[in-house]
Amino acid sequence: MQGRSISRGIADGELLISSEPISFLSGVDPNTGIVVEHGHPLEGQSIAGRVLAFPYGKGSTVGSYVIYALKQNDLAPAAIINTEAEPIIAAGAIIAGIPMVDRLPPEFSRLPTGTRVTVNGDTGEVSYDETA
């Protein structure tokens, strides 16, 4: 699937999907990689090493630094996919060296959580194992 490249690099992992935006400041614990925002669909789940897909970011610009802290703690997502990237998440992905894409075609929304995907932030492409 072809999207738009936001942050360079290539990574793969299990897809973790949220229908809701994510605030990294106060929404994700940088010391555990666990989503801690009360009532969030991913509350209690680890984002570490997974391909995190969510519509867009929300909250403070400090969220960019939380993404960077997650990377420094080896707890960051392997890659990020957004419906529409915005500056907070894009800046965090870029400074942390996390591959990121957005604007994927509608068929992306049919992939279930747990699907193994590869995100190519250099080209904006996302591929997945169709036999899984």
Residues with catalytic function:
60
Instruction: From 48, 50, 29, select the one nearest 38 (Cα to Cα).
Output: 29
Paired tokens of 114? 């747990």
Instruction: From 92, 76, 89, 85, select the one nearest 31 (Cα to Cα).
Output: 76
